[in-house]
Structure 1
Amino acid sequence: MEIDFSGLLTGFVASISLIMAIGVQNAFILKQGLKRQHLFLIAFTCSLCDSILIVLGVSGIEILTNDYPMLTKFMEWGGALFLLAYGLRSFWSVFHPHILVASLENALPTSKMSTLLALLGFTFLNPHTYIDTFLLLGTIGAEQEPHEQLYFMIGAVAASVTWFFSLTYGASKLVHFLKVHALGKY
C-alpha cells in the first residue's frame, strides 16, 4: 500500500487552518499553559476529543446526509445562522473592545478534575467544535476518494495533536517573555 502524501497534506492543512482560531477552548488552553497546570492532560484530552470527532465526521457524515436529507438542510441553515450571529457579535466587539487579562500572579491552582471538566465543557458545549471538526472536516474528508480518506484523517489528526501540544507547552514556555514584555522591559 502506497502512502498518499496528498491526502495527508490535505487533512493536515484543512485541520490546522480551522483549529488555529482562538476561541474559548484555545483561550482556556493558553491560560492553563501560562499557569503551567496540567499540561499533558490538557493537550492529550483536546487531541483525543478532536481526533474522535474528525474520524466520526469523515466516516459518518456521508451516512447521515444520505439517510437523513432533512438533517443536511438543518445543518446548513443552522451553521449559516450560527456563523451570521457569530460574525455580528465579532463586528459588535470591534466597537466595544475588551481586554482578556490573565492574572497569573495570584492564580490559584486548579484540580485535575475541575480542569478536565472545564476543558470538556469548552470542547463539547462549543458549536465550533462540531462545525469545524465534524461538519467541515467530515465533509472535506468524505469528498476524498475512498482510498484517500484514511490518509486525510491521519493528516487531520496529526494537525490536531501538533496544535494542541504546541499551544499548551508553547504557552508554558512563554510565561517569562510575556511578563517581561508586559512590564515594558525588553
Structure 2
Amino acid sequence: MFEPFFHGFILALGLILPLGVQNVFVFNQGALQPRFVYALPVIITASLCDTLLILVSVLGVSFLILGSFWVKMILIGVGCIFLIYMGWTTWNSKPHNEREESGNKFSLKKQVLFAASVSLLNPHAIMDTVGVIGTSSLRYQGEDKVIFAFSCILVSWVWFFGLSLVGRMSGKLDKSGNFLQILNKISALVMWGAAVYLLVTLRRNYS
C-alpha cells in the first residue's frame, strides 16, 4: 500500500516541479487576483485537467489516442495557437488596472478556457504523463493501481493550491506593481517559447 503511494507521489512531484506554462499561469493568476477566491477557477480547472490526464494514462486510453498521427498534429496546432494568444493577452495586461477593477481582465469563462488549454493542449506534458505515469502504473494491479493514481492526483491538487497561494503572497508584497508587470512579461515569454518549441519539435520529427 505504501509503496505505490510514495512511488506515485515522488513521480508526480518530479513531473510537476519544473517551470512550465501551466505552473506560470496558475502562479500568475494567484498573484494578479485581488482575492484568492477569484483564482479558484484556474486552480480547480488545472487540477481537474491533470486528474483527467492521470486517469486516462493509468487506464491506458491515452496510448491509443497519441498513437494517431493526425491527433498529434491537431493537438500541437491548437496548442500553439492558444499559447501565442495567451502570451499576447498576458503581455498586454496591466496589473494595476486589474486590481482597481476588482477582478481580472480574464472573465471566468476565459480563465477556465486558458487553464484547460495549458493543461490539455500541451503535447509534451501529455506525453510525459503517458510515458512516465502511464508506463509506471503498469507494474500495479487492483487496489495498488488505485492508490498509485490517487497519489499522483493528490500531488496535482496540493501543488496548484500551494502555487497559487505563493503567487498571492508575492503579489501582496508588491506594492509598486513592478513585480507583477515583470511576471506578466516572463509569463508571456514562457508561453511563446513553449509554442516555438512545439513547432521546432514538430518540424524535427515530421520533416
Superposition TM-score, scaled by structure 1 size: 0.68
C-alpha RMSD of the superposition: 3.2
- State percent identity of aligned pairs: 26
Q: Which moves more between the two structures, 131-140 or 50-59?
A: 131-140
Tell me which residue corresponds to 1:40.
40
Tell me which residue corresponds to 1:60.
60
Which of these two proteins has the greater Rg computed from alpha carbons? 1
The answer to whether the Cα contact below 8 Å between 1:31 and 1:102 also exists between their aligned partners in 2 is: no
Summarize the Cα distance change of 1:150–1:58 in structure 2 as closer, same or farther, 3 Å threshold. Answer: same
Question: What letter corresponds to residue 117 of structure 1 in structure 2?
Answer: L
Match of 1:106 among 87, 90, 97: 97
Displaced runs of 4+ in structure 1, greater than 3 A? 100-103, 178-183
Structure richer in helix, relative to its length: 2
Stretches of structure 2 that go unaligned for 5 or more consecutive residues are 77-90, 99-103, 180-207
Tell me which residue corresponds to 2:124.
128
CA distance in 2, matches of 1:57, 1:49: 12
CA distance in 1, matches of 2:29, 2:177: 19
State the Cα deviation string for residues 121-175 of structure 1 (Å, max 9, x = none): 2112111331232332111112234442111101101101111111122211221
CA distance in 1, matches of 2:172, 2:10: 31
Correspondence 1:113-152 to 2 at 5 A: 113-152=109-148
Stretches of structure 1 that go unaligned for 5 or more consecutive residues are 83-99
What count of residue pairs does the alignment treat as equivalent? 152
Match of 2:165 among 142, 164, 169: 169
Superposition TM-score, scaled by structure 2 size: 0.62
Q: Identify which of structures 1 and 2 has the higher relative contact order when contacts are C-alpha pairs closer than 8 Å and 6+ apart.
A: 1
CA distance in 1, matches of 2:145, 2:58: 7
